[in-house]
Amino acid sequence: MRILFLSQYYPPETGAPQNRLSGLARELSLQGHQVEVLTAMPNYPAMEVHSSYKRRWFVRENLEGISVNRSWIYVSKNRSVFSRLLNYFSFTISALLVSSRLPKRFDVVLCESPPLFLGISGWWIARRKRALFVFNVSDLWPESAEKLGVIRNRFFLQAATKLEEWLYRKSSFITGQTQGICTDIRRRNPDKTVHWLPNGVDRALLNAPVGSDWRKRAGYSDTDFLILYAGIIGIAQGLDTVLDAAKRLPAAVSCYWVKDLKRSD
């Protein structure tokens, strides 16, 4: 089967969708499927295009045996809503334009959301390539943006909700990153096929030896009690809860929690 992954985020960037989608693409390729990726010039999380990709409109490269096609994206360190929208829309448009350089036929186009607007490109590319359009929802948008207070404009929220509903209707089927996301989408779209696509794990990575001196290298003693949060640090994660929990712990434990949070930030 010939599969196209459409995502704004992909390695060598670091992040949740980058790790998840590249792992899925790699495994599908190992199973004998023909996998290609259409993504943006790497820039996240520093919001600066990597030096070897600057001032380039289109790049095709091979990563781990997978053909990765990159198109231009507007990048700015400005965190305003307007700058973020320019960032999203620029890749939405450039991905559409460079899709003509890809093979004429695919069996499946899997589009990662958010950004929600990329779904427009995913649907159109799938239509042109005569492929099934799979809409992969890793975050309910614009609902999450509204609840977090990132976007408050009622007109924009209503327009984004209309787009979200339209993309659900146009998809061949929908995949969700969590069971909660899938439940929500099924409730609003009972006639659509929705699959839970959970995060995977690289067993080889987990089995890799870390060495007996890892505590020393990390600055901890053999008697330190360690608690690990292995996830994204952002607005949606509500990690102020961790700081509140640290206040309730003995001082010796609290200082390590706060120290590590500051180090990660």
What class has domain 2-196? alpha beta
Amino acid symbol at 168: Y
Name residue 232's amino acid.
I
* pTM for the whole structure: 0.82
Q: Is the distance from CB of 118 to CB of 112 less than 8 angstroms? A: yes
From first to last of the 265 residues of the chain, give the pLDDT tens digit.
999 999 999 999 988 899 899 999 999 999 999 999 999 999 998 899 999 999 999 999 999 889 999 999 999 988 887 898 899 999 999 999 999 999 999 999 999 999 999 999 999 999 999 999 999 999 888 777 666 666 777 888 888 889 999 999 999 999 999 999 999 999 999 999 999 998 877 777 777 666 677 788 888 888 887 777 777 776 667 778 877 887 777 654 545 544 454 444 4
**3-class state of residue 98 by DSSP:** helix
Strand 194-196: give its sheet, edge to edge.
58-63, 66-71, 34-40, 2-6, 108-113, 132-137, 173-176, 194-196
Looking at the chain, the domain(s) classified CATH 3.40.50.2000 span: 2-196
Count Cβ atoms within 10 A of the Cβ of residue 94 and give its class: 0-12 exposed, 13-18 middle, 19 or more buried. buried
